């Protein structure tokens, strides 16, 4: 398997509905869908606050009177100080609850802008124009917004659904290689959340399939009361690596290693066999991603401690693990198993 060709837009734009009753919205996937922005504006919106980063390189036209607010690059932008700065700037500019926020960028921008939308004037509409693969298959879909604390990623946030999401696959052609690899890592997890043959699909259809899977899960469990935890497959180890903060791994790269780690844990619990573990390694390596811990990550004690800080750890350390019933949350994994699985991917 190899990553699909980025410019293979063999089908017209696809639209996936996230069915949440009165909060339902459409996700548009395809080349050039950013130009649909004006047509998906909330009724009655007068002005648009466009939140983006300088390096995104894509402009949008909301069809409204719009102001652009630029935030810092990287995870540093996902902070309470940046939320305050944006809210104060929007207040000085006269933005009200009846206006709309437009997030243009990757997961950092959509997470941050969505959280600003959730708290400014106690809530206003927002639209995400996702320009990275990571945002298109995960961060921009589902209404989970938030910012980081020094103690961990996304520990402050809100469930606040967007009015619409535009996943413009044309923007992927300009991504730096590692940013694209990070997106493949998040996409890799969807191979294990469905029976669909994602390997047979082109880029646009593969992204749309991932969006459909996430939309179905979100519709069934909007606020992560149970089933939605499956979307964190591979993330227990990934978040621990990211929280440690000393290792040169992008989010999707860490998720890729985390997927294989979760498979090793599941095999040791008798949930899957070695062939299924090999499938995880094949899918991950097929995207050109790592499936072993990089050199330097050798402090098991730190990683095990960080597992307990993960947001889904509501009853002790909680893993999301594969089985013949599918992927599901599991508690009570013996520490010896956790250590053995770490040794297997080192």
Catalytic residue IDs: 122, 144, 186, 214, 224, 228, 232, 235, 239, 251
HSE-CB at 108 with a 13 A cutoff on CA atoms is: 19
Alpha helices in the chain (DSSP H): 80-92, 107-119, 133-134, 177-189, 203-220, 235-244, 251-268, 274-286, 300-307, 335-344
Strand partners of residue 306: none
Q: Which residues of 321-339 are buried (b: 16+ CB within 10 A; e: fewer)?
A: bbeeeebbbbeebeeebbe
Question: What is the maximum span of the chain, computed from C-alpha positions, in angstroms?
Answer: 59
| E strand or H helix at 95 | none
Rounded CA gap, 181 and 187, in Å?
10
Please spell the DSSP secondary structure of 131-179, one letter per residue: -SHHIIIIITSSSEEEEEETTEEEEEEEE---SEEEEEGGGGGGS-HHH
Read off the tokens for 272.
């899957």
Contacts of 164 (CB under 8 A, 6+ apart): 25, 26, 27, 28, 40, 127, 128
Which residues, at least 6 apart from 182, have a Cβ–Cβ distance to it below 8 Å?
Answer: 132, 133, 134, 250, 251, 252, 253
Closest CA to 287 of 206, 209, 194, 341: 206
């Amino acid at each position: 398997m190899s990553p699909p060709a980025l410019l293979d837009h063999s089908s017209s734009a696809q639209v996936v509905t996230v069915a949440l009753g009165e909060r339902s919205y459409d996700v548009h996937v395809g080349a050039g869908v950013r130009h649909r922005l004006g047509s998906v504006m909330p009724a009655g919106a007068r002005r648009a606050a466009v939140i983006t980063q300088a390096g995104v390189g894509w402009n949008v036209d909301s069809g409204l009177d719009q102001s652009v607010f630029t935030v810092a690059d990287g995870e540093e932008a996902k902070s309470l100080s940046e939320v305050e700065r944006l809210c104060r700037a929007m207040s000085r500019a006269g933005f009200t609850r009846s206006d709309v926020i437009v997030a243009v960028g990757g997961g950092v921008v959509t997470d941050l802008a969505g959280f600003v939308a959730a708290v400014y004037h106690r809530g206003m509409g927002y639209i995400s124009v996702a320009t990275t693969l990571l945002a298109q298959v995960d961060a921009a879909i589902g209404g989970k917004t938030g910012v980081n604390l020094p103690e961990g990623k996304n520990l402050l946030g809100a469930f606040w659904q967007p009015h619409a999401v535009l996943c413009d696959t044309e923007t992927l052609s300009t991504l730096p290689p590692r940013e694209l690899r990070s997106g493949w890592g998040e996409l890799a997890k969807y191979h294990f959340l469905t029976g669909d043959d994602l390997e047979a699909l082109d880029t646009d259809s593969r992204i749309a399939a991932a969006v459909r899977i996430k939309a179905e899960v979100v519709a069934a469990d909007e606020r992560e009361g149970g089933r939605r935890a499956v979307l964190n497959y591979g993330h227990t180890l990934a978040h621990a690596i990211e929280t440690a903060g000393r290792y040169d791994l992008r989010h999707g790269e860490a998720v890729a290693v985390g997927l294989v780690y979760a498979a090793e844990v599941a095999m040791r619990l008798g949930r899957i066999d070695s062939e299924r573990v090999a499938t995880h390694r094949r899918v991950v390596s097929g995207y050109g991603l790592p499936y072993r811990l990089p050199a330097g990550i050798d402090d098991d004690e730190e990683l095990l401690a960080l597992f307990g800080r993960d947001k889904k750890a509501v009853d002790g350390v909680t893993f999301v693990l594969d089985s013949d019933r599918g992927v599901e949350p599991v508690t009570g994994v013996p520490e010896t198993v956790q250590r053995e699985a770490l040794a297997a991917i080192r």
